[in-house]
Amino acid sequence: MSHPIPEVTLHDGLKVPVIGLGTYKLKGNDGVHAITGAIDHGYRLIDSAYNYENEGTVGEAVRRSTVQREELLITSKLPGRYQGYDDAVTAIQESLYRGGLDYYDLYLIHWPNPKQDQYVEAWQALMDAKKWGLIRSIGVCNFLPEHLDRLEKETGVLPSINQVELHPFFNQADQRKWHEDHGVQTQSWSPLARAAELMKNESIHSIASAHHKTVSQVILRWHYQLGAISIPKSSSPVRQLENLSIFDFTLSEREMNRIGELSHPGGRMNDQDPAFYEEF
Ligand SMILES: NC(=O)c1ccc[n+]([C@@H]2O[C@H](COP(=O)([O-])OP(=O)(O)OC[C@H]3O[C@@H](n4cnc5c(N)ncnc54)[C@H](OP(=O)(O)O)[C@@H]3O)[C@@H](O)[C@H]2O)c1
């Protein structure tokens, strides 16, 4: 890799690379190979979750890799069904046992599940786990401003990161503005919108050919220039490398706006509005 991956500093001081590896569906022996290969290619941030059932795969890749544990940033996430305080503490411990790790760099509440109404308790468990040294930085996924506001009011602590669905069809402009105003780092899940319709988009194709880059590289560069950390998943060494090669060109303001204009209110992939949608 010719260009090093830039880092951002979270509000609690943790430095995180601006691009990481998504691991949804990377499991078992193939998953370990895909992840160790990605680490060899330069990935240092690896995103997993209790519910992906691959914390063991990620932990094995960490042990097999030649890169020191301290140089890697490993993320996992608390499932909705364990948001009660005691369950959350046990789930964090179970995540560590599954991964064979002493600590997670980032641990996130996976969904707010507002009808269940336990996310504040879950947040208190994450705050305590951080004090006990089990987690370096605590964050959330899919929290709307109203959920973040409540965490701050009731615990005095805002998440370091909010990982949200973000891609050109759903650019999260208002949510990103809220994050910026409150010092919360935006992280993009499904940054390539799972490489389906978006990959055929003509505007992005024309921008890509103007820069002699691929469509994926243009999309991931757009995330970077928005200030969001992206975590594209790829099982392929070639595409993993392709996705990291985004630091040798710049999109103009006009190109950024053209991509931004592809966003529309119904642009979420599976209509998972965190105000209503719950995941356990
Ligand atoms: N917090 C949450 O609620 C949440 C929700 C969803 C996802 N996530 C996280 O976000 C990560 C990324 O999201 P995602 O996996 O849903 O979708 P994604 O990263 O947008 O897309 C992954 C798909 O794109 C393909 N791909 C990757 N690079 C490519 C390239 N350069 N050219 C063409 N195709 C390419 C991959 O295929 P190959 O593998 O064959 O390359 C895979 O099918 C997940 O893996 C997970 O860690 C979090």
Identify the pLDDT of residue 2: 59
Identify the pLDDT of residue 234: 98
Distance 232 CA to ligand 1 centre (A): 5
Mean pLDDT of 126-151: 98
Note whether 109 and 126 are within 8 A (CB): yes
Q: Is the pLDDT of residue 167 over 90?
A: yes
Residue nearest to atom 14 of ligand 1 (CA): 190
Confidence of residue 160 (pLDDT cuts 50, 70, 90): very high
Confidence of residue 39 (pLDDT cuts 50, 70, 90): very high
pTM value is: 0.98
Distance in angstroms (rounded) separating the CA atoms of residues 172 and 167? 8
Confidence of residue 107 (pLDDT cuts 50, 70, 90): very high
Mean pLDDT of 46-63: 98
Residues touching ligand 1 (Cβ under 6 Å) are: 22-24, 47, 110, 141-142, 163, 189-195, 216, 231-236, 239, 242-243
Note whether 259 and 203 are within 8 A (CB): yes
Residue whose CB lies within 8 A of the most ligand 1 atoms, among 25, 119, 192, for a mutation test? 192
Note whether 16 and 160 are within 8 A (CB): no
Mean pLDDT of 253-264: 98
Cite the active site residues. Answer: 52
Q: Is the pLDDT of residue 134 over 70?
A: yes
Confidence of residue 3 (pLDDT cuts 50, 70, 90): confident
